[in-house]
């Protein structure tokens, strides 16, 4: 299965199989996860352009869940022992994504 994660706006998403208008795909990092009815995760994909591909899905009813994430990249050095590293996310919902 493949597709795009689209933002619902006043125009709505285009019909299945049609290309979305420019600017309608999500500009943030998105995760699309396929779940079985019992909640088990079957597959997951992460994308920065709103597109996703979930290969090898079983032939059964599945629920697709799309989640938008602000992308935050931080370099860390892992050492022996218990460590803590907090990651600060920008305010959400981000005004630049509206």
Report CA Rg, the chain. 17
- Read off the pLDDT of residues 17-37 as tens digits, 9 standing for 90 and up: 555 555 444 456 888 999 999
Strand partners, 29: 69
Q: What is the pTM of this model?
A: 0.56
Strand partners, 69: 29
Q: Give the start-to-end residue ranges of the domains of the chain.
A: 1-98
- Read off the pLDDT of residues 42-82 as tens digits, 9 standing for 90 and up: 999 988 877 889 999 999 999 999 888 766 677 777 788 77
pLDDT at 23: 46
């Amino acid at each position: 299965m493949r597709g795009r994660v689209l933002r619902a706006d006043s125009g709505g998403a285009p019909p299945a199989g049609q290309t979305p208008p420019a600017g309608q795909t999500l500009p943030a990092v998105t995760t699309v996860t396929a779940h079985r009815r019992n909640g088990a995760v079957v597959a997951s994909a992460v994308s920065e352009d709103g597109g996703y591909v979930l290969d090898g899905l079983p032939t059964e009813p599945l629920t697709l869940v799309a989640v938008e994430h602000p992308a935050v990249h931080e370099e860390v050095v892992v050492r022996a022992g218990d460590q803590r590293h907090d990651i600060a996310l920008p305010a959400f919902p981000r005004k630049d994504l509206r």
